[in-house]
Chain A
Amino acid sequence: MIPTAFDYVAPTSLEDALSALAEAGDDAKVLGGGQSLLPVLRLRLNAPEKIVDLSRIDSLRGISDDGDTIVIGAMTTHDEVARSELVREHAAVLAEAASTVADPQIRHRGTLGGALVHADPAGDLGAPVLALDAELVVVGAGGERRIPAGEFFQDLFETAVGEGELLTAIRIPKHTGWGGAYEKFVRVSHQWSIVAVAAVTRDGEAKVALTNMGSTPLRASAVESAIADGASVKDAAAKAAEGTNPPSDLNGDSDYRAHLATVLTRRALARAMGG
């Protein structure tokens, strides 16, 4: 189908984008890479009056080194994240997860910022960002806020980004020398995660986050404390579904997902630890 008619602006600066959004209020929608929004518009699940396209704002794109942090512009594509030497060295689990998103064509357009704001619970980029203790930089008329990943995801398709605000960058503390692994389970190629697990590890320490085990990405705290207390990978991974409330759908019921989470956590931890 063809989307309903809308006005379109493609500002070249952040200030212009914010004023375009402020002017249009809740009739406006931000366009990132368009790989989730355009399907939504085509199915007419949403009919904004104005589209503010961020793709001509150069400052929102690219990956830079900021001391002990790497900074990824919101409009950086999945393909750029997956290939980046900086990301592979200091946040390997995110590069791996980005390389599992959809297919090459969609990775050439879809952006890290768009995926995070879209906040589909089956999306692959929330869990690695959460496991890496990232901060999300959100800018609005009132200035800039830095939001810890743990507070960013609020519910299904809901984040801390408010009306008139933009996600501009993702700041990731360097995890240089840590192991990382993203274990994604799908039954056919080019599918959203049924369940996936992001693990980041070093001696006696693990950070683990789960994809599609609830309405938002979740930290597997029970697994993390078990590793900190010296438990084996197998015993720690058995706790992966503790405190989660996984969905039931055509791809699998809740119990099945709970079981998958333990298996994938074991694999992710083992691989991150080099086993």
Chain B
Amino acid sequence: MPRISVKVDGVTYSDDVEPRTLLVHYLRETLGKVGTVIGCDTSNCGACTVHLDGRSVKSCNVLAVQADGREVTTIEGLATNGRLHPMQQAFHDCHALQCGFCTPGMIMQAVDLVTENPNASEAEIREGMEGNLCRCTGYHNIVKAVQQGASATASAAGGEQS
């Protein structure tokens, strides 16, 4: 079995993995990072979204061996010092969930989206989130949360600079 070395949420892990292991299975079953969930079998739903070298990917559609030498951030790595990431806080404040199953993927994609486009319009947010399905909310509060999370992220970044 090939041995891989991956930095996940700031910690470097080395493990032997079968080549057919999907990244999402490695995260959940080997590392116990069950915050990342599996919602479908077709790479449509986006629930398993994580960041690979800083960009959002569906971790059911990447092999663990492909992450060798790379860096992964999951929903479990967003909070710092026990404080929610501004996007997590925004989802909480805006009640952007009902059952919550899609939420980890939604938040990871939302963070990618606002990093890329801090001033995204509502239409751009709806398009940028199109790879993430929610079967409960009708998306209304999710879009609101991404808008709030975008401005909170921007002001947090501004605060750090000054």
Chain B nearest CB from A52 CB (Å) reads 11
> Binary interface profile of A, 103-126, with partner B (CB < 8 Å = 1, else 0)?
111101100000000000000000
Contact present for A105 and B66 (CB under 8 Å): no
The total number of A-B Cβ pairs within 8 Å is 83
User: Which of A3, A39, A105, A190 sits near B56, CB closer than 8 Å?
Assistant: A105
Contact present for B20 and A105 (CB under 8 Å): no
> Binary interface profile of A, 45-65, with partner B (CB < 8 Å = 1, else 0)?
000000101010000000000
Q: Closest residue to B50 on the A side, CB-wise?
A: A105
Q: A105-B46, A190-B131 are in contact. Are A3 and B20 (CB under 8 A)?
A: yes
Chain B nearest CB from A66 CB (Å) reads 27
- From 57 to 84 in chain A, residues with beta carbon under 8 angstroms from any chain B beta carbon are 79
Tell me, in angstroms, the Cα distance from A10 to B4 when the chains sit together: 12
Tell me, in angstroms, the Cα distance from A43 to B113 when the chains sit together: 30
A1 interface residue (CB < 8 Å to B): yes
Q: Which residues of B contact A53 (CB under 8 A)?
A: 63, 65-66
A38 interface residue (CB < 8 Å to B): yes
> Binary interface profile of A, 10-53, with partner B (CB < 8 Å = 1, else 0)?
10000000000000000000010011001101110000000101
B2 interface residue (CB < 8 Å to A): yes
User: Which of A6, A10, A43, A55 sits near B20, CB closer than 8 Å?
Assistant: A6
Contact present for A105 and B19 (CB under 8 Å): no
A256 interface residue (CB < 8 Å to B): no
Q: Which residues of B contact A4 (CB under 8 A)?
A: 20
Chain A nearest CB from B60 CB (Å) reads 8
Chain A nearest CB from B7 CB (Å) reads 17
Q: Closest residue to A188 on the B side, CB-wise?
A: B130
Chain B nearest CB from A186 CB (Å) reads 11
- From 82 to 133 in chain B, residues with beta carbon under 8 angstroms from any chain A beta carbon are 109, 112-113, 127-128, 130-132
Tell me, in angstroms, the Cα distance from A109 to B59 when the chains sit together: 11
B148 interface residue (CB < 8 Å to A): no
- Show the binding face of A for B, using Cβ within 8 Å: 1-8, 10, 31, 34-35, 38-39, 41-43, 51, 53, 55, 79, 102-106, 108-109, 189-190
Besides A105-B46, A108-B56, A189-B130, 6 more A-B contacts (Cβ < 8 Å) are A2-B21, A5-B18, A38-B61, A103-B130, A105-B109, A109-B61
- Show the binding face of B for A, using Cβ within 8 Å: 2, 18-22, 25, 41-44, 46, 49, 52, 55-58, 60-63, 65-66, 68, 109, 112-113, 127-128, 130-132
Q: List 6 A-B contacts (CB under 8 A).
A: A38-B60, A39-B61, A104-B130, A106-B131, A190-B130, A190-B131
Closest 8 CB pairs of A and B: A103-B131, A8-B19, A189-B130, A3-B20, A108-B55, A190-B130, A105-B58, A105-B56
